[in-house]
Amino acid sequence: MNERDSEIMAGLLEEMGYVAASRPEEADVVIFNTCAIRERAEESVFGEIGRLKAVKEERPHMTIGLAGCMAQEPVTIERIRRHAPHVNFVFGTHNIHELPDILARVRDTDQLVVDVWKSGGDPELLEHLPSRRASGVKAWVNIIYGCDKYCTYCIVPYTRGRERSRRPEAILREVRQLAYQGYKEVTLLGQNVNAYGHDLPEKTDLADLLAAIQKVEGIRWIRYLTSHPWQFTDKLIDTVAENDKVCEHFHLPVQSGNNRILRKMNRHYTREYYLELVEKIRRRVPGASITTDIIVGFPGETEEEFQDTLRLVEEVQFDNAFTFIYSPRPGTPAALWLKKDPTPLEEKKERLQRLNELQYSIQRRNNQRLVGDEVEVLVEGPSKKDAQVYSARTRTHRLVLLPARPGMEGRFARVRITEAQTFYFKGEWLDQPAAAGRPALSLAHEG
């Protein structure tokens, strides 16, 4: 969501006559578009803001702003007033469209400008806003804003507001325009995409939307982020299975493998439900990749309850897992429970290490089985670390590194996997062009 919001901000700034600077130190306007899900991200933002204080003293015309989820928290604004007086403006997640007006107000005052809406506005306010997309081939498309799930550890419902779906005709209009502009892949975005449509007057859902986008000529691959296991229906699984443009990658955050912890998290499903969902996906969509998020050290989690998570990871054999130690978010129920949590941080760190060791061993084992496979990839272009290496993604969202081949940026290709690491593959180019649609042989879990 933040990346798409940043594209809109960049588009608004370009429309005002700004051009992108290569470094923050050279910019006239610097905006920190923030995430509030974890404390470490917040501290990193304030570290960067502090670093720019000396720069602004040398370049007093520099304008510094903070946007995004952190801006929705009153404690953030108070911290800026006390410790970062060189910040000029703060605005939140619900009024990105007001950025030009906010900058105009900043020019007329030497006081901190704060413009934060407490609740989400009509999604139509964000329609037709300019956008400076980060890629010319892959595009983010918002389909739903906010979240109604109120997981006890999560700040998102408080910073993003209640669920608000875009009208399907507006989404399809945007996707058709992207296809006309040459984009090949779209990723449908939302805090909980499979809640899409429940608040609209017409009866529609994510499965219907995917089937409609399948018919848009020019779009080759369709993805969606993020899904909640609770609302992942059989209809949605069937839609992925039956529409060859919809990539067979399922990101299903499980968070814990223990039923008591899942109840405390307010996740609305059980361990048994989750395992049955995984089984249905693998039965209906052979070759699908399944990835997840896991929180370690949720307040009150015992060693035996953590063992349930390890057992679930072993049973599911995730293709990748994003793992974190629980991070308290002010204003959430779980943050209050942390005060009575008897488990020391060092023990939680040790649990995270054990979890990662297990998951990494699973990834290495599964990935090694794929060496020699021929797969379709979308070539992203030169790697950020080495211009002599090109990055590409499979339908199942695996990263493949290839020898540089100028002219292949943004194109589909067939490659052979030659080497498997924990987090990426190495490959070689094949001469034949990539076939459209879903390949018979998919780079995915085989278990």
Question: Could you tell me if 359 and 318 are in contact, meaning their C-beta atoms sit under 8 angstroms apart?
Answer: yes
In order along its 447 residues, the chain shows pLDDT tens digits of 678 888 889 999 999 999 999 899 999 999 999 988 788 888 999 999 999 999 999 999 999 999 988 998 888 999 999 999 999 999 988 888 899 999 999 999 989 999 988 776 666 766 677 777 777 889 999 999 999 999 999 999 998 889 999 999 999 999 999 999 999 999 999 999 999 999 999 999 999 999 999 999 999 999 999 999 998 999 999 999 999 999 999 999 999 999 999 999 999 999 999 999 999 999 999 999 999 999 999 999 999 999 999 999 999 999 999 999 999 999 999 999 998 999 999 999 999 999 999 999 999 999 999 999 999 999 999 998 899 999 999 999 999 999 999 999 999 999 999 999 999 999 999 965 454 444 433 333 333
CA dihedral 361, 367, 371, 373 (to 10 degrees): 160
Distance (Å, rounded) from C-alpha 201 to C-alpha 187?
Answer: 24
436 Cβ contact list (under 8 Å, min separation 6): 220, 244
Give the CATH class of 374-429.
Answer: mainly beta
Which residue ranges make up each domain of the chain? 2-115, 123-368, 374-429
Architecture of domain 123-368 in this structure? Alpha-Beta Horseshoe (3.80)
